[in-house]
Amino acid sequence: MTALLRVENLRIELATRLGVAPVIDDVSFELAAGETLSFVGESGCGKSMTALAIMGLLPDKVGRIAAGKILFNGEDMTQASDERLRSLRGNDISMIFQEPMTSLNPVFTIGEQIAEVLRRHKQMDKRDAWKRAAELLDAVRIPDATHRVGHYPHQLSGGQRQRVMIAMALACEPKVLIADEPTTALDVTIQAQIFDLLEDLRKDMGTAIIMITHDMGVVAEMADRMIVMYAGRKIEQGDVHTVLDHPRHPYTKGLIACVPHLVATLDEHRPPLTEVSGIVPGLQEFGKNECLFASRCDRVVERCLRERPTEQRFDKDQVSACWQANTL
């Protein structure tokens, strides 16, 4: 696999009231052109932080890249100038953010906002940019697009606003699209439309997609490969079907088993859900030389408490950071 994006030993530190915490702690992964890679994990595990680091948009003064490389087509983005990052961000890598309403400007029409992106990054003139904006809205299936370009964000439904965000992210035909929980606030029927759209994009333009989600169903449906994050660390990685069929980390196993999934044929049998007790540790716990999942783990052994698990490799590029991975 030739990687379009390669992240090597990334460490991101956040300055908190209680000191500096590694919100991303030695994370490496690759992304190939045209593939969909999913990041899953509970709230606060560092999924959005990983995305923001790739975008060069870590929270100012609070977060910084402390170690590691982010290589895009071989170029190390952690060393790039602000200007270079802005250009990469506009043209090659774009992101759909977690909250659509806060990412659209309420005082400009959606057409103006898309056209602005095109003028800045594609040097289009006003008329062409406006025309292209309408085409993009049409491409993301906003009904009556030529008329809708003149609408303000509040005149659209939640699903339509999210599609506008996608249209904006697509405006410059990026090579990498990062979608951070792009459908969490939407009805599943609308979610299905958005997923179809992303799927078409990947097929037609070869866009590589990083899909951040907390929903294993979405992973199963959308992704080729997946990475499970826990407390700032990559704790499991692999081909989606391999990991779902045979998770090699107790956390992944728990995440799959604790959700009441829809099944092909429902019957009367309804055992209680598998529970993963406890919650994700606070930021001040991140970085400790131990397995940060140990307090919630039913497989914990003494070693887990005194040494951070190293990555164990299995068939088909499956990786698990668990001392007990072999026995799972």
Partner 1 sequence: MSQEHTGQADGASSSVAHTGQTDPLTVHSKTKPVVDANVLLRVDNLRVRFPVKGGLFARKQWLNAVDDISFTIRRGETLALVGESGSGKTTAALAVAQLVKTYQGAIKLGDTDWLALSDEQLRVARARMQFIFQDPYSSLNPRLKAEDIVREPLESLQSVPRADHQGIVDRMFESVGLRAEQKKLFPHQFSGGQRQRIGIARALVTRPELIICDEPVSALDVAVQAQILNLLKQLQQDYGLTYLLISHDLGVVQHMCDSIAVMYMGKIVEHADRLSLFNNPLHPYTQALLSAVPSVDRELRQKRKRIVIQGDIPDALNLPSGCRFASRCPRVTDICRTTEPELKRHDVKQSAQSSGEHSVACHLVD
Ligand X SMILES: Nc1ncnc2c1ncn2[C@@H]1O[C@H](COP(=O)(O)OP(=O)(O)OP(=O)(O)O)[C@@H](O)[C@H]1O
E strand or H helix at 256: helix 250-257
Supply the DSSP string of 56-86, one letter for each residue. Answer: T-PPTTTEEEEEEEEEETTEEGGGS-HHHHH
Report long-range pairs for 128-136 (Cβ below 8 Å, ≥24 apart): 132/171, 133/167, 133/171, 136/167, 136/168, 136/170, 136/171
Region binding ligand SF4 by CB under 6 A among candidate stretches 181-189, 218-226, 264-272, 296-304: 296-304
Q: Which two tokens stand for residue 270?
A: 């309804």
- Kindly state the number of chain residues that form the binding site for ligand SF4, as judged by CB under 6 A: 13
**Cα 166 from Cα 186, distance rounded (Å):** 14
Q: Which stretch binds partner 1 (CB under 8 A): 55-63, 78-86, 267-275, 305-313?
A: 267-275
**Short-list 252, 270, 268, 251, CA closest to 260:** 270
The yes or no reply on residue 322 touching partner 1 (CB under 8 A) is: no
β-pairing, 3-16 with 63-72? Answer: antiparallel
Residue number, 218 or 304, with CB nearest to ligand SF4 = 304
Q: Report the side by side order of strands in the sheet with 75-76.
A: 19-32, 3-16, 63-72, 75-76
Choosing among Mg ion, ligand SF4, partner 1, none, which partner's interface includes residue 272 (Cβ < 5 to 8 Å by kind)?
A: partner 1
Which residue of 51, 134, 256, 292 would you call a contact of partner 1, by CB under 8 A? Answer: 256
Q: If contact means CB under 5 to 8 A according to the sort of partner, which of Mg ion, ligand SF4, partner 1, none does residue 48 touch?
A: Mg ion
Among 38, 50, 113, 193, binds partner 1 (CB under 8 A): 193
Q: How far is the CB of 37 from ligand SF4 (least distance, A)?
A: 22
Q: Which of 73, 79, 105, 157 binds partner 1 (CB under 8 A)?
A: 157
Q: Using CB under 6 A, which of 69, 120, 141, 214 touches ligand X?
A: 214
Q: Which of residues 62, 188, 205, 305 is near partner 1 by CB under 8 A?
A: 188
Cα separation, 234 vs 13, whole angstroms: 16
List 15, 62, 205, 258, residue binding partner 1 (CB under 8 A): 258
Does 297 help bind ligand SF4 (rule: CB under 6 A)?
A: yes
| CA–CA separation, 151 and 265 (whole Å) | 44
CA 200 to centroid of chain Cα atoms:
19
- Which of the stretches 39-47, 77-85, 163-171, 296-304 binds ligand X when contact is defined by CB under 6 A? 39-47
For the purposes of burial, counting CB atoms within 10 Å of the CB of 196, is it exposed (0-12), middle (13-18) or buried (19 or more)?
exposed
Quickly count: other Cβ atoms within 10 Å of residue 74's Cβ.
8
Closer to ligand X by CB, 133 or 255: give it: 255
Tokens 């990052």 -> residue:
85
Of 42-50, 101-109, 234-242, 298-306, the segment contacting ligand X by CB under 6 A is 42-50
Binding mask 244-263 for ligand SF4 (x = CB under 6 A): ------x-------------
Write the CB contacts of 196 (distance below 8 Å, at least 6 apart in sequence). none
**Choices 14-22, 188-196, 284-292, 306-314; region in contact with partner 1 by CB under 8 A:** 188-196
- Which lies closer to ligand X via its Cβ, residue 41 or residue 111? 41
* Separation CA 145–CA 160 (nearest Å): 11
- Give the nearer residue to ligand SF4 in terms of CB position, either 224 or 285: 285
User: Please, which of residues 3-22 interact with ligand X by CB under 6 A?
Assistant: 14
Cβ neighbours for 310, distance < 8 A, ≥ 6 positions apart: 321
- Summarize as ranges the residues that interact with partner 1 (CB under 8 A): 42-43, 141, 143, 157-158, 186-189, 191-193, 195-196, 214-222, 241, 244, 254-256, 258-268, 270, 272-277, 279-280, 296
